[in-house]
Amino acid sequence: MNLFDPAVWRELWTWTPYLLTGFGLNILIGLLAMLVGTSLGWGLALLRLSTRGPIVKLSLLLTEITRNIPTIVFQFYLAFMLPAEFVLPGTNLTLGFPGWLNASLALAMAVIGFTSDNLTSALKAWRNGDHSAALLFLPNWTSYMLIIVIASSTASIIGVSELVSRCNTVINATGNTRLMLPVYLYACLCFFFFCYPLTLLMQWTRTYLAARFAHRT
């Protein structure tokens, strides 16, 4: 397979809007998972700082549950258990429950456990006056978001038309097996050029925070 064949890249260019729209869905799934997971994980973190023993034990148990359920299993569970559409109570309005939302909720499970653990440590550090350690939660959160965006590609197994799924569609639609390697390389580059600059930014942020607070002390 010649990756430098102009015909191959012309074919990929034709499909670029379709592929990038799918990648946009990957980003949406990742961001929604982080939003839901961070909100719930924040609640667990606050409960873990409670002075009441039973509440702390319950929050730790919930954290362990969210941290030890494979998100791919949860995706299948939601795909089969949640209806594809439902009628809004008290109305005749029918709303859809799309697969990408299932994927976001499944990935949010991992985010809940991550946020519960890391935010608990950050809140403790902030209360103890170690603001540098507390603020490190922000770059760590962003780095974890990139992991979740990459993991969003597993949504293809429940029929979500994200980037990896659309790569398969392109290969099948064109009937050109020569596109297989280039189109998957294309997908890899999409994830790389989205994640790598943010990874560098987070590394710089960690260094900056450490230097700034070290200078103050």
The answer to whether residues 161 and 170 touch, using CB atoms and an 8 Å cutoff, is: no
137 confidence band (pLDDT: 50, 70, 90): very high
Q: What structural domains and CATH numbers belong to the chain? A: 6-84+93-216 (1.10.3720.10)
Mean per-residue pLDDT for 63-91?
A: 81
Provide the pLDDT confidence category of residue 163 given band limits of 50, 70 and 90. Answer: very high
Q: Which helix (H) or strand (E) holds 45?
A: helix 6-48
SS3 95: strand
Residue 71 token pair: 């998100």
Give the single-character DSSP code of 42. H
**CA-CA distance, 165 to 158, in Å (whole number)?**
10
The pLDDT of residue 2 is above 60: no
Say if residue 117's pLDDT is above 60.
Answer: yes
The pLDDT value recorded for residue 152 is 96
Instruction: Find out whether 31 and 103 touch, Cβ atoms under 8 Å.
Output: no
Instruction: Decide which of 81 and 19 is more confident.
Output: 19
- HSE-CB for 9 with a 13 A CA cutoff: 5
Planar angle of CA 169, 174, 180, nearest 5 degrees: 65
Residue 4: per-residue pLDDT: 65
What's the rounded Cα separation, in Å, for the pair 159 and 4? 32
Is the pLDDT at 90 greater than 60? The verdict is yes
pLDDT value of position 133: 83
Mean pLDDT of all residues in 33-40: 97
Q: What is the average pLDDT value for the chain, to the nearest integer?
A: 89
**pLDDT confidence tier of residue 11, bands split at 50, 70 and 90:** confident
pLDDT of residue 1: 52
User: Does residue 65 register a pLDDT over 70?
Assistant: yes
Q: Mean per-residue pLDDT for 14-21?
A: 95
Residue 147 has pLDDT above 80, yes or no: yes
Asked if residue 184 lies in contact with residue 167, where contact means CB atoms within 8 angstroms, the answer is yes
How is residue 61 written in tokens? 């148990």
Using CA atoms, how far apart are residues 112 and 118, in angstroms rounded to an integer? 10
> Which range among 30-34, 39-43, 64-68 shows the weakest confidence by mean pLDDT?
64-68
Quote the CA–CA distance of 42 and 48 in Å, as a whole number.
10
